[in-house]
Amino acid sequence: MKKIKILHIIPDFGTGGAEKLVLDLLSNYDKSKFTMAVLSLYNKSDTIYEKQLEKIGVEVFYLGKKPGIDISMIYKIFKLFKKYKPVVIHTHRYVVRYTLIPSVLLRIPIRIHTVHNIAEKELDRIGIKLQNIAYRFFNYIPVAISTSVRNSITDLYKIKSDIPLINNGIDIEKYIFKGIKKNSDSIKFIHIGRFSPQKNHDFLIDVFSRVATEKSNVRLSLVGDGELRKHIEDKVKHMGIDDHVEFLGIREDIPNLLAESDIFLMSSDWEGLPLTLLEAMASGLPIVATKVGGIPDVAKHNSNAILVPRKNKELFYKAIVSLIDDFDLRNSMSEKSFLLSREFDIRVAEKQYEELYVKKCKEMKLIE
C-alpha cells in the first residue's frame, strides 16, 4: 500500500490537551503506512512539545501568524498545501477558518477535524458558523474525543450521520503507580491546567482554603501557567494559605509530580476529555472533579472518583474531606483509577485514527 500523506494543523504548541494529543499521535504512528508532518500557524516558541517533536524527527512547518484574525494565513496555507500535497489534513482547535478555503480550492481529498472540547465552547460565533459550513457542504469530518463531546456536536451542528468517536489517550507506560501512602505526614493534592476561566481556579482556591483552615496537613500543587495565574497567586496570599499552596508553572516531569501526589482535583466549568485526568488515573490517584463535559465518561462516580455539580463548593469540600479522613476509600479509588486508565492508551487512539484515515482513503478509491 502506498503511504498516506497526512498533515496535522494546529495554532501553536502550547501545553494544552490538543497539542499533547498531536504530539502523541506523531510519536506513535505506523511509519510503514503513513507519512506525517505538522503545521503550526504561529512561529516557533521552543515549548516542551516542540523540543520533543525535534527529538523524534517530525517535520514541522511554521507560518508566523499575527495575533487575532490573520487573513494572510489563508494564502500561506494554500501555498503550503500546494507544496506538501497532503492526502489528509487533520485539524485541531480553531484552524478550520483558515484551512477550509485552501483545502477546497486544492481539492484536498480528506478533511478531518478533532473536536477537543464541548462543541459550543470550542469556538467563537464566527468559528462555529464556518465549521458548520465545513461539515455540511465540504465533507469535513468531525471526530469526538468523548461521548459527551459527540452529543454536543450533534446538538450544535444538527449532524445526522454517525460522528466518529475516538477517546483521548495517553502513553500510560510513562506514568508511575506507587499506591497510596498510609502513614504520610501530609496529604498532597495536585491540579494541572492552564490558569484560565475554563479551569475555575477561583472555585478551587475558595474550597481548598476552607480545607486548609481545618486540616493543617494538606498541600496543593498547581501546575500550569496562564493569564489568571497572578490573580490566583494574589488570592492565595490574601486568604493566608500560601504555606499550603505552591505554584509550579509549566513542567516536563508531570509523571513524577503525579507519583508524589495523593489526590487529583479538577474544578473545570467545562471539558472535552481532559488528558490530565487520564494522566492522574494512570498514576493511580483518586479524583475529585466537577461533573462536566467528558469527565463522567472517564472518571466514575463512587468508583475511582467523587464527581460534584459545577460550582457547588459545599459538595466539593465534603468530597475532599471524605478522602482525607478515609484511607480505605482513597486506596480503593486509587486502584480503580489505575485499572480504568488502561482503557485509554494512546496506542488504541492512534490505531483508531489510522483506521479512519485508511477507511476514508478507500471510500475515495485513493488506495485499494
pLDDT at residue 181 tops 80: no
225 and 353 housed in the same domain: no
Please give the single-letter amino acid code of residue 251: R
pLDDT at residue 183 tops 70: no
pLDDT at residue 182 tops 80: no
Q: What is the pTM of this model?
A: 0.93
DSSP E strands, the chain:
4-10, 34-40, 59-62, 88-92, 110-115, 140-144, 187-192, 218-223, 245-249, 263-266, 287-290, 305-308
The string of pLDDT tens digits covering residues 223-233 is 999 999 999 99
Supply the pLDDT for residue 114. 98
161 and 198 housed in the same domain: no
pLDDT at residue 179 tops 90: no
Q: How far apart are CA 104 and CA 20, in angstroms?
A: 28
Phi, psi of 305 (to 5 degrees): -150, 160
324 and 354 housed in the same domain: no
128 and 186 housed in the same domain: no
256 and 285 housed in the same domain: yes
354 and 324 housed in the same domain: no
Cβ atoms of 304 and 354 within 8 Å: the answer is: no
Query: Which residue(s) pair with 10 in the sheet?
Result: 40
Specify the CATH number for the domain of residue 357: 3.40.50.2000
Residue 49 in any domain: the answer is yes
Supply the pLDDT for residue 305. 99
Cβ atoms of 117 and 36 within 8 Å: the answer is: no
In sequence order, which residues have a C-beta less than 8 Å from that of residue 144 and are 6 or more positions away?
115, 150, 153, 163, 164, 165, 166
Confidence bin at 196 (pLDDT 50/70/90)? very high
Supply the pLDDT for residue 155. 96
Supply the pLDDT for residue 161. 86
Residue 368 in any domain: the answer is no
Report residue 141 as a C-alpha cell: 469530518
**Sign of the alpha-carbon dihedral angle for 187, 190, 196, 200:** negative
Cβ atoms of 172 and 341 within 8 Å: the answer is: yes
Cβ atoms of 9 and 90 within 8 Å: the answer is: yes
Query: Which residue(s) pair with 7 in the sheet?
Result: 37, 89
Cβ atoms of 224 and 15 within 8 Å: the answer is: yes
Residue 281 in any domain: the answer is yes
Q: Which of 3, 1, 49 is nearest to 26 (CA)?
A: 49
122 and 179 housed in the same domain: no
The residue range of the domain holding 302 is: 172-343
153 and 46 housed in the same domain: yes
Cβ atoms of 192 and 223 within 8 Å: the answer is: yes
Percent of the chain beyond pLDDT 70? 100
Cβ atoms of 2 and 368 within 8 Å: the answer is: no
The string of pLDDT tens digits covering residues 305-356 is 999 999 999 999 999 999 999 999 999 999 999 999 999 999 999 999 999 9
Structural domains in the chain (count): 2
Residue 326 in any domain: the answer is yes
The string of pLDDT tens digits covering residues 239-265 is 999 999 999 999 999 999 999 999 999
Residue 140 in any domain: the answer is yes
112 and 195 housed in the same domain: no
Mean pLDDT of the chain: 96
194 and 156 housed in the same domain: no
Residue 237 in any domain: the answer is yes
Residue 79 in any domain: the answer is yes
Residue owning grid cell 494559605 = 241
Residue 91 in any domain: the answer is yes
155 and 20 housed in the same domain: yes
Three-state secondary-structure class, residue 121 = helix
Q: Which of 105, 112, 137, 110 is nearest to 367 (CA)?
A: 110
Neighbouring C-alpha atoms within 13 Å toward the C-beta of 80:
23
337 and 353 housed in the same domain: no
Other CB atoms within 10 Å distance of the CB of residue 265: 25
pLDDT at residue 365 tops 90: yes
pLDDT at residue 184 tops 80: no
Q: How far apart are CA 241 and CA 205, in angstroms?
A: 9
The string of pLDDT tens digits covering residues 76-109 is 999 999 999 999 999 999 999 999 999 999 999 9
